[in-house]
Amino acid sequence: MNMPYIKYFAIVLLGVFHLSLNAQSNFTSLGESSLSLNHKVTQTYSINFVFRSRYVLYDDDEGLQYNQQQVDVFHFSTFKLDYYHKLSFGLYYRNRDWFDTGSDETRIIQQYNFTKQTLGVRYGHRFRAEQRIFDTKTVFRQRYRFAVDFPLNGEKLDIGEAYLVNVAEGLLSLSKNDKPETDIRLSSQIGWQVNENLKLQTGLEHRFERFNIVASNNLFVLTGAVLKI
């Protein structure tokens, strides 16, 4: 890996960490580990299953800790419209009842992706609509994400090489009995193309949640594996 890219990644991670440390209220740090299984059914249709675990590492009240918060499983069916455009439909289930941390959740998702690549740098725009079904209410959430990823050596990602992914996302949640909620998420992850079918990723994500009502600041430590099957 080239030293300039190492320095760039370190600066981005420090920036995300700095945002969280300087948050004025309600700071929590969480870990999130995921396994993503991808399968290409045809040239235009693919499926994806994700298994994810989230756990609390620190909060202002109890300090350092390890408390399991939830487990998630979700599925996406993706249709490739052309080289740049994709349309996806998903189902998502979140279990918090096992851990007495809140309501379980079922989520129905519609998603549109537009990506373009220039000189090895890929730019992605993602528009997502979610219907989040809880025990007592349904929340309608709209999301827009802008992502930039690129290999850290040259213009093409080869086996054994690293890549960087930077993401900025805005979210708007609407429900019948609650005020609208707005969130911002910023993340940076470094990944490795271990072999033709496996990628590993790790990084940080800062979530500035409900900042139009009572702001909370969450720093996520992300780890994940992406496997083609």
* Domain membership flag for residue 196: no
| pLDDT tens by residue, the chain, 229 residues | 444 544 554 555 555 555 545 544 578 999 999 999 999 999 999 999 999 999 999 988 888 999 999 999 999 999 999 999 999 999 999 999 999 999 999 999 999 999 999 988 999 999 999 999 999 999 999 999 999 999 999 888 999 999 999 999 999 999 998 999 999 999 999 999 999 999 999 999 999 999 898 888 999 999 999 999 9
* Domain membership flag for residue 204: no
* Domain membership flag for residue 197: no
* Domain membership flag for residue 202: no
* Domain membership flag for residue 163: yes
Query: Per-residue DSSP letters for 48-111?
Result: EEEEEEEEEEEETTTEEEEEEEEEEEEEEEEEE-SSSEEEEEEEEEEE-GGGTSS--EEEEEEE
Question: How many domains does the structure of the chain reveal?
Answer: 1
* Domain membership flag for residue 199: no
* Domain membership flag for residue 158: yes
* Domain membership flag for residue 125: yes
Compute the Cα dihedral for 56, 131, 180, 134 and give only its sign: negative
Structural domain of 183: 3-190+209-228
DSSP state of 120: T
